[in-house]
Structure 1
Amino acid sequence: MTVRNLTDFLCPKSDGIFPDPNQCDKFWECVDGEAESQLCPDGLVYDPTNRNVNKCDHRFQVDCSDRPELQPAQPTEACPRRNGIFAHPESSVCHLFYTCVDGAAVQTECAAGLVFDENTGTCTWPESAGRQGCFKKAGRLPDGFECPTEEVKDVRGLTEIHPKYPHEDCAKFYVCLNRIEPRLLTCDRFKVFNVEKSFCDDPENVPDCEDYFGDVPVFQKPATKVREE
């Protein structure tokens, strides 16, 4: 949509493209000092810092605090505006969101334990999103285990997404999916959980669990077959 208007906007330079001072999805193209106003597609806004030829981008990528006005919305069934990434219309549905392109919506589900954050256009932890009614309390297993809130680092110093924790039974351990949802798991046969390495290991490698299986032979090596000459 283009509207010819030579009086509302004063070109900073005789030629160039410039943001509107009040409306975030509006910009002006100046040619020989004459300004022509243009609009981004509904749902997108103009980013003067964008180096691409098309400078219209998602709202969460652009600071519109000093030019908050927008064109009238052109909603469709699942899209409040024709373009953009939006939360589910029901505020209690926190893990679903819609990507809208020219009014057509594609529904996407966040990973377990995460919620959609419109401020970033991504799935994140409920406490980071700050959406009312979307903060999910950590689950609790029947034995009383709850996922700790402290971050767990791996050997590279990176935060574990699904950290593991020991159980009083050497052959069992807890895993916290996305640091929130607890699960009780059991190691494979003749294995015990190694806390230091955070995986199931041979009993002899785990202090206080060496004799967990008693006299049951853990390894039964196949007999060496002697080849007859």
Structure 2
Amino acid sequence: MTTPGLARSTAHAAVVAVLALACLARGQVFQQQGFQRGAQRLGSPRQQQSFGSFAEPQFQRQQQQQQFQQPLQQQQFQQFQQASGFSCPERNGYFANSRQCDAYYKCENGVAKEELCPDGLLFNDKNSPFSYPCSYPNEVQCLTRSAVQPAQPTEDCPHQYGYYALGDAANCGKFMNCAAGRGYVFDCPDGLAFNPETYHCDWPDQVASCDAEAFLQFRCPEEPLLFGQRPAETRLLRSNTDCEHYFACVNGRPRRYNCGEGNAFSEELGHCDVAENVTGCAPAFRSGNDFRQTRLF
């Protein structure tokens, strides 16, 4: 027979158990709803995946990244080796392409990457490994590597980079410097012509594409041949237009010189002197042009 006290205790315990189960169920529903609201705030599936990765242990993430990166790097290296067919002779450096003069290989940590010089420049294997590997054509000997990339001309320039002669055989003193397809015009010093083979301003008689006599507007007088050859000595003759300039006839070809402002060439002395001391050199026949023999580089 059950006593009234025991019955009340049993009933109370049952009520407590029911309330506990109800609270537990409510808590689970709240947690599920809260997680769903949090998941909605994450946005895209990519963001959700990123959010989930923060819950992973750090060592597990690092291990997974290493397992992913190593095969990918090996795969990329193998693919590039197959594409280039070039094996680095040294771990780091620049190395010539065997077929193309403006192409080269750049090796970093033993991995080769094929590179191309800008249009108009060529790879120079003589350059320091710490300097820019491309140079102007006058500084490079391509030999058998004659192939180059197609030209990329602009309105100004035949190539993106380089130095190019302007004018014709009678106007040899101008040239153009092309940089990134834009042309800049320069004049050689007085009496010199641009040499497209050397990229220097040179004596006109040394430039194959220049007519020295037409350019300088002076022709050396004919010399009688001695044993079938021209005399070896150089003749000095004053200019017909102003007395500050004079010409040296070398192998029958003219080269123009300048005595400098305030001076004139004396045919009697065979050299420059103060203009006032030179016979026939009136102020009207003097020029203020200053001549300097120079080179571009």
**Shorter chain as normaliser: what TM range?**
0.5 to 0.7
% same residue: 27
Equivalent residue in structure 1 for 2:119, among 39, 42, 53: 42
Equivalent residue in structure 1 for 2:246, among 152, 175, 187: 175
- Preserved contact between residue 112 and residue 177 of structure 1 (Cα < 8 Å): no
Give the alignment of 1:4-83 within 5 angstroms.
5-7=80-82, 8-51=85-128, 52-83=130-161
- Preserved contact between residue 238 and residue 267 of structure 2 (Cα < 8 Å): no
Deviations 1:157-200 (CA, angstroms, capped at 9, x unpaired):
xxxxxx5659xxxxx897228954599xxx99xxx866166314
Deviations 1:21-57 (CA, angstroms, capped at 9, x unpaired):
1212111012344321011121111111112521211
Equivalent residue in structure 2 for 1:135, among 211, 215, 224: 211
Relative distance call for 1:22 and 1:202 in structure 2 (3 A) is same
Counterpart code for 1:195: L
Equivalent residue in structure 2 for 1:195, among 256, 260, 269: 269
RMSD across aligned C-alpha pairs, in angstroms? 4.2
Relative distance call for 1:164 and 1:147 in structure 2 (3 A) is farther
CA distance in structure 2 between the aligned counterparts of 1:197 and 1:136, rounded to whole angstroms: 23
CA distance in structure 1 between the aligned counterparts of 2:173 and 2:271, rounded to whole angstroms: 32
Secondary structure of 2:206's partner? helix
| CA drift at 1:146 | 4.5
Relative distance call for 1:20 and 1:201 in structure 2 (3 A) is closer
**Does 2:103 correspond to 1:103?**
no
Counterpart code for 1:78: D
Choose 1 or 2 for highest CA Rg. Answer: 2
Q: Which structure dedicates a bigger proportion of its chain to helix? A: 2
| CA drift at 1:69 | 1.4
- Preserved contact between residue 139 and residue 181 of structure 1 (Cα < 8 Å): no
Question: In the alignment, what sits opposite 2:48?
Answer: none
Q: Which structure dedicates a bigger proportion of its chain to strand? A: 1
Counterpart code for 2:197: N
- Preserved contact between residue 160 and residue 179 of structure 2 (Cα < 8 Å): yes
CA distance in structure 2 between the aligned counterparts of 1:151 and 1:18, rounded to whole angstroms: 49
Relative distance call for 1:89 and 1:74 in structure 2 (3 A) is farther
CA distance in structure 2 between the aligned counterparts of 1:196 and 1:177, rounded to whole angstroms: 11
Aligned residues: 178
**Does 2:199 correspond to 1:121?**
yes
CA distance in structure 1 between the aligned counterparts of 2:222 and 2:109, rounded to whole angstroms: 64
Secondary structure of 1:70's partner? coil
- Preserved contact between residue 103 and residue 116 of structure 2 (Cα < 8 Å): yes
Secondary structure of 2:186's partner? strand
User: Which 5+ residue runs of structure 2 have no aligned equivalent?
Assistant: 1-78, 224-230, 280-297
CA distance in structure 1 between the aligned counterparts of 2:269 and 2:201, rounded to whole angstroms: 30
CA distance in structure 2 between the aligned counterparts of 1:129 and 1:140, rounded to whole angstroms: 16
Question: In the alignment, what sits opposite 1:158?
Answer: none
| CA drift at 1:121 | 0.6
User: Which 5+ residue runs of structure 1 have no aligned equivalent?
Assistant: 154-162, 167-171, 210-229
Deviations 1:83-119 (CA, angstroms, capped at 9, x unpaired):
1111227676432210011111111122344322111
